[in-house]
């Protein structure tokens, strides 16, 4: 079980790194700067808050951090979908990152549902 959790932490970290590398491709397009800045912040927040979530001292604290991860990965997916729509160069990278964001969103949504069940018990 721990291996899967460690792999997910590595996956969220890699997602943040991939997004940061992706947004560098758009530094010559001022119209995309704000979008890329927001995207980079959301993706980084997914990784950092997932790491923090793993170190929660209680189920309540875990659930709160998990909610933040859910919100941030959803925000990253939203920014990525916009980037896919407006990007010319680098579109393939944005599509790959969007797919990863959607997969992470599904994983964390399931984790949130499981956590809610545990909290009700």
Q: Is 67 exposed, middle or buried (0-12, 13-18, 19+ CB in 10 A)?
A: middle
Torsion, CA 9, CA 10, CA 15, CA 20, rounded to 10: 110
Q: Is 103 helix (H, G, I), strand (E, B) or coil?
A: helix
User: Which domains occur in the chain, in start order?
Assistant: 2-120 (1.20.1440.60)
Report pLDDT digits (tens) over 62-119. 999 999 999 999 999 999 999 999 987 777 889 999 999 999 999 999 999 999 999 9
DSSP state of 118: H
User: Model-level pTM?
Assistant: 0.91
């Amino acid at each position: 079980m721990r291996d899967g959790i460690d792999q997910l932490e590595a996956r969220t970290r890699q997602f943040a790194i991939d997004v940061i590398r992706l947004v560098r491709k758009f530094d010559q397009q001022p119209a995309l700067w704000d979008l890329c800045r927001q995207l980079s912040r959301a993706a980084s927040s997914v990784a950092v808050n997932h790491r923090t979530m793993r170190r929660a001292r209680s189920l309540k604290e875990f659930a709160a951090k998990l909610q933040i991860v859910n919100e941030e990965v959803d925000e990253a997916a939203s920014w990525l979908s916009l980037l896919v729509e407006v990007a010319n160069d680098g579109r393939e990278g944005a599509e790959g990152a969007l797919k990863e964001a959607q997969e992470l969103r599904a994983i964390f949504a399931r984790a949130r549902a499981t956590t809610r069940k545990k909290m009700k018990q």
